[in-house]
Amino acid sequence: MKHVAGLMCLGSFYTGVLWIEYQSAFLLGAGCFLLAAGSVLTCVAVALYRAPDGHERFDGFRVQRQDRQRGLAS
The tens digit of pLDDT for each residue in 16-35 reads: 988 988 887 787 777 777 78
Looking at the domain assignment, is residue 29 inside a domain? yes
pLDDT of the residue at 47: 84
Looking at the domain assignment, is residue 27 inside a domain? yes
- Domains in the chain, number: 1
Three-state secondary structure of the chain: CHHHHHHHHHHHHHHHHHHHHHHHHHHHCHHHHHHHHHHHHHHHHHHHHHCCCEEEECCEEEECCCCCCCCCCC
Structural domain including 47 reads: 2-55
pLDDT of the residue at 57: 66
pLDDT of the residue at 60: 66
Looking at the domain assignment, is residue 73 inside a domain? no
Residues in the chain predicted with pLDDT less than 70, given as ranges, are 1, 53-74
Looking at the domain assignment, is residue 37 inside a domain? yes
pTM: 0.42
Pairwise CA distance, residues 28 & 13, whole Å:
22
